[in-house]
Every structure is written in C-alpha cells, then in structure tokens.
Structure 1
C-alpha cells in the first residue's frame, strides 16, 4: 500500500503559488466533487460512499479518498473490528469547502438550465 505522501498532489511548479490552481488541484478528479458532496453532511463508510456513486470502482474510490486525505480535506478512522470498519469525515479544513461547494452547485444548476438541461438532485 502506498504511503500518504504518495497521494499528495502533483502541482505544476510554474503555478505553485496560484490560489485558484491550488483549490482546483484539490477538487480535480473524476469523483472528488461527488465524494465531497456525499460526505459533506456527515461521516460515511467506504461502502456507503461507493453505493451512492454508480460506476466507481473500489480502486478509484480508494485513490480519490487517499488524495483528499493527503490534502487534509478528509480524515480516515479505522476501527479495530473484524471486519475492519473505516469511516471518512471532513476535517475542519474540508468543512470550509462547504460554502464553495454550495456556490458551485448554484452556478452549475444555472449553467445546466441555460443549456436546457434539468439539474440533478444528486451529484
């Protein structure tokens, strides 16, 4: 298994001090916005997250969760049970994204409506 540092973001050195790029680097990933949307209201187990995201493989979910953990957005708690129970929750830093996620939802809904599409209630 990879160490936590192996999941740290690969930031373009030419843009390493750009605040917008730093934010996008955290959120960029096929499943990251949906994962954050699912966890924003409370702690979730791996299987709960996977069940709400049709089409995501266990491997892809693991990688995206580990990347969010490496960025300090999520915290992972492993309980010493058999079988092991693993839960994910937003850190304080991750919860600070809530306003941004709400704004992205509002903007995205308006954008979809402009294109004549109906916004989904789940991401």
Structure 2
C-alpha cells in the first residue's frame, strides 16, 4: 500500500490507464493537484517501478509517462478502490432538505 499511498498516486496511475501522457497533460487531467505535488509523486512512482519515464531526447525536453508492466499489476486493485469509493461516496453524500 505504501507504493500508492498518498492523495494523488492512485489518481495518477488511473489517469495513465488510458495511455501515455506528458506532465502537462497529467496536470490538466487532475483538478486540484499542484505541479510540485505531481512531479514529486510521479518521481516516486518511477522510482518504485510503477510507471515508466519516456524521454524523447529532444530540445526542448519532451518527457512522457506510462504504466510499467509491473504497474499494470496494480491497476485491478486501483479499479476496485475506485468502485468502492463511488459506492461509498454516494452513500455518504449529504442530503438536501427541502
């Protein structure tokens, strides 16, 4: 669990399920995450082998990220957590009195 612990790691991994993304694309697809936090979590996920960093070796630098083969083993678990969250978010949503 420590590999995906933190507020944003599961979200980052879930966003990459759709395919390779650049840092800016990831940031735009995750409302509320700061660039600093995104970079920190992405670096940790790369260091843990969950996502791969693809450097196009161009000027200006062009880097993209994708889920590693090892990271794909976590995707079903993250999907289950998302499903659980959707059910319980609906259950705990505040009700309006009219």
Mapped to 1, the partners of 2:46 and 2:93 lie a distance apart of 37
Measure the CA separation in 2 of the matches of 1:25 and 1:84: 30
Question: Structure 1 length normalisation: TM-score?
Answer: 0.71
Unaligned runs of 5+ residues in structure 1 are: 1-23, 118-123
Match of 1:4 in 2: none
2:15 is the counterpart of 1:38:
yes
Count of equivalent residues: 94
**Cα pair distance change 1:78/1:96, threshold 3 Å:** same
User: Is residue 94 of structure 1 aligned with residue 71 of structure 2?
Assistant: yes
What whole-Å deviation, never above 9, does each CA across 1:62-121 have from its counterpart, x for those lacking one? 11001001111011011111211101011111011111111111111111122136xxxx
CA RMSD of aligned residues (A): 1.3
Q: TM-score, normalised by structure 2?
A: 0.87
Distance (Å, rounded) in 1 between the aligned partners of 2:84 and 2:32:
25
Gapped runs of 5+ residues in structure 2?
none
CA distance in 2, matches of 1:63, 1:83: 21
